[in-house]
Amino acid sequence: MKIALTIAGFDPSGGAGIQADLKVFQSLGIYGLSVAAAVTAQNTRGVTDILPIDTQFIKKQLSVLLSDMRPDSLKTGMLYHEASVAAAARLIRKHSLENIVTDPVLTSSSGKKLGSRYLPDAMKKKLFPLCTVITPNIYEASVLTGLDVRTNASMERAAVQLKSFGPRCVIITGGHLKGNAMDLVYDGRFHVLKGRKLKGDYHGTGCVFSAAITALLAQGTPLLEAVRKSKLFMNRVLNKSVRPGSGMKILAM
């Protein structure tokens, strides 16, 4: 059985972070490992508190896990501290891990800051060079590039800039764009993934999309095929979404 590892935040509401990643891995037939980089207090209305896990303890979780199992792919989500980015990058290099997916989580859907001030720089310098693919949304792409990313042209400029940090592929997800939700893929060439925007607010879409890519890469699916299949997976789980609380909808696998 193929194995995928997520290093991410703990979401008690079950819609994002580690919980979402494990559900995606399971539904795509991949055995999931998870390392907690932060614990959040949140419900479907939003995040109220965050307890970042001490970097030394993230290292301990990773080291003991990697001394026993070798993941076929690895995803990072909410890492919070720049030191934790460096620790994850060091262990990825030490174990020569491949199929690295980074969802550069910076803020929650409800607008709460999910990382330190130095997190964007640390991700660009230490983590992006190791990545097969990074999946910023338009807000994250704006913070990471200093550009105002909200049009087709600015998405293209941001993608080119982000690829210069070293990832093999950049996907800027357009779910927060006005009008149609298109994602821009740049792997040296531009590819557009079209999608119909559904009504309502959804929690965990970025986590689920990047986790699906991670699962498919673990299975040995070629990158662009993994990306296209993950977009189809998104359409499916968005259509099956549930509203377990009074706030955002959660994707169902």
Binding site for ligand PXL (CB under 6 A): 8-9, 11, 16-17, 40, 42, 47, 77-78, 105, 108-109, 114, 204, 206-207
Distances (CA, A) of 170 to 17, 66, 83, 103, 238: 20, 27, 23, 10, 23
Residues 6+ away with beta carbon under 8 Å from 94: none
- Whole-number minimum distance, CB 88 to ligand PXL, in Å? 15
Helix axis angle, 223-239 relative to 205-218, nearest 10°? 140
Where is 21: in which H helix or E strand? helix 17-27
The residue among 8 and 33 lying less far from ligand PXL, judged by its C-beta, is: 8
- Whole-number minimum distance, CB 148 to ligand PXL, in Å? 21
Residue type, 139: Y
State the Cα–Cα distance between residues 97 and 112, nearest whole angstrom: 31
The residue among 45 and 93 lying less far from ligand PXL, judged by its C-beta, is: 45
Residue type, 166: G
- Whole-number minimum distance, CB 67 to ligand PXL, in Å? 26
The residue among 17 and 136 lying less far from ligand PXL, judged by its C-beta, is: 17
The residue among 21 and 187 lying less far from ligand PXL, judged by its C-beta, is: 21
- Whole-number minimum distance, CB 213 to ligand PXL, in Å? 15
- Whole-number minimum distance, CB 206 to ligand PXL, in Å? 5
Residues 6+ away with beta carbon under 8 Å from 16: 9, 77, 108, 109, 203, 204, 206, 207
The residue among 7 and 89 lying less far from ligand PXL, judged by its C-beta, is: 7
The residue among 167 and 204 lying less far from ligand PXL, judged by its C-beta, is: 204
Helix axis angle, 152-163 relative to 138-145, nearest 10°? 60
- Whole-number minimum distance, CB 174 to ligand PXL, in Å? 15
